[in-house]
Amino acid sequence: MKTVSMPVLDGIRELVNIGIGKSAGSLNALTGHHVTLHVPDIHISTIHDLKEQIPHPDPSFSVVSLNYNGAFEGTAVLMFPLKSAENLFFLLNGETERTQENDELWRMTLLEIGNIIINAVMGSITNILGKKLEFQIPQYREDSLDHLLDNGQFADSQSAIVVHARFSVEDEGILGEIVLLLADQSIDILAELINQKIGISKE
């Protein structure tokens, strides 16, 4: 498994923190409620080990995933427990229940929230590092992260930088999780970019 220095991991954590702060501001404006952020956890894991470590194997999650490539590549995932997804949907749309009639609105709402949060996080990373990424069309499903990894671009033996962050709207019973997976071949590239930034900042 690859190794990455602590300054690089701290640099990634800080980049994600900035992006999550921006997305929280957007959620504040959309919901009219305070969004609480939790410091991202970051580590390197093989995909096989990550599946063993995933705290939420239950498929009852609303998941928005977005693959990206360019200077580096990976997958960004936004996850809500179904109850949290329902509370967010009700809060944003004034609905009182999920039905067949509003199913498309449900899907579009969660995709839009996923776009806002993921783009804020990834946009901060690329803007600060001065690199561009191409994003594929976001996908919505009700599934687990474990299953998502099985169907994604990651091989079991690959190493990945895993960034896991949480945010909550406590008075509305909303809890969301952001997981960024940076593919094996991108780890060295990202480490070099961050090392360059660290070097610039110290001059």
- How high is the mean pLDDT in each 10-residue block of the chain (203 residues)? 80 87 87 86 81 67 89 87 91 91 94 90 89 90 77 66 84 87 80 78 42
**Domain 6-202 adopts which CATH fold?**
Chemotaxis protein chec (3.40.1550)
Closest to 82 (Cα-Cα) out of 144, 4, 3: 144
What's the pLDDT at 59? Answer: 63
Cα–Cα–Cα angle for 169, 93, 113, rounded to 5 degrees: 55
What's the pLDDT at 202? Answer: 41
pTM of whole model > 0.85?
A: no
User: Please, what sign has the CA dihedral across residues 110, 115, 117, 122?
Assistant: positive
What's the pLDDT at 46? Answer: 80
What's the pLDDT at 154? Answer: 65
Residue 2 φ/ψ, nearest 5 degrees: -65, 155
What's the pLDDT at 113? Answer: 92
